[in-house]
Amino acid sequence: MTLKASTSSDANLPYPDPHYYRWLADSLNYLTITRPDIAYVANQVCQHMHHPTILKCFLRYIQGTIHFGLPLTTTPLQLRTYSDADWAGDPHDRKSTTGFCTFLGTTPISWCVKKQATVTKTSTKAEYRSLSSATSDVIWIQRLLADFQLPPTTPTPLYCNNTSAMAIAHHPVFHARTKHIEIDYHFIRHHITNGEIVLHHIYSEEQPADLLIKPLPSSRFQDLRDKLSIKLINA
């Protein structure tokens, strides 16, 4: 996906067959079940059902990586989650995008790309909402593993690159100044106190969830795709 929205007439040309476009969007959305690298663009495609446009670049990428996927490997079954948010990233309504991915061992088993419901005034609030969503996903996976007689024995590491959001989660003194995230605060704090998750800081350069929230340069995209363990699995 291009880093900046194109203003050319070709890029904004309506797709001649909206029904086929919507069918194609559904198929691409289904493909994200095993291809987190296309989750962000598929999300963008599905947001434009009302005004379908040509998506040749996306389809060319799929054609060129048709044999890529997530290999299943034998590794210790340790959960870890990465959470990120693109603050006010949508140029049309300035809503933020939540993105997170959860690994079991070295393989991603859950990921999410979702536009946040309301506009946030600060990046901290956007990141905190993403942390809350990631925490919900972690708790669900922990309970699922418990049903398979594989309950986690240690708190699940939850990695975030926003130090302000982490500070609010750890220190209630910040809460008085941020009443707008009260519910998310209590939810995350509850699971930290119960020892179900533990927050860790990660540098933005090492954040694999960055691939899920915004367009990236080719080299950066490929680097994060490798971090998500997406490889050529069948020649």
CB 156 within 8 A of CB 81: yes
Residue 165 CA to residue 192 CA, distance in Å, equals 14
pLDDT digits (tens, 9 = 90+) for 108-145: 999 999 999 999 988 988 999 999 999 999 999 999 99
Sheet holding 79-86, edge to edge: 107-115, 97-104, 79-86, 156-160, 197-201
Domain limits, the chain: 18-66, 79-209
79-209 is classed in which CATH architecture?
2-Layer Sandwich (3.30)
Query: Could you tell me the pTM of the whole model?
Result: 0.91
CB 136 within 8 A of CB 177: no
State the pLDDT confidence band at 212, using cuts at 50, 70 and 90: very high
Q: Can you give the length of the chain in residues?
A: 235
pLDDT digits (tens, 9 = 90+) for 29-61: 999 999 999 999 999 999 888 878 768 888 999
pLDDT of amino acid 5: 57
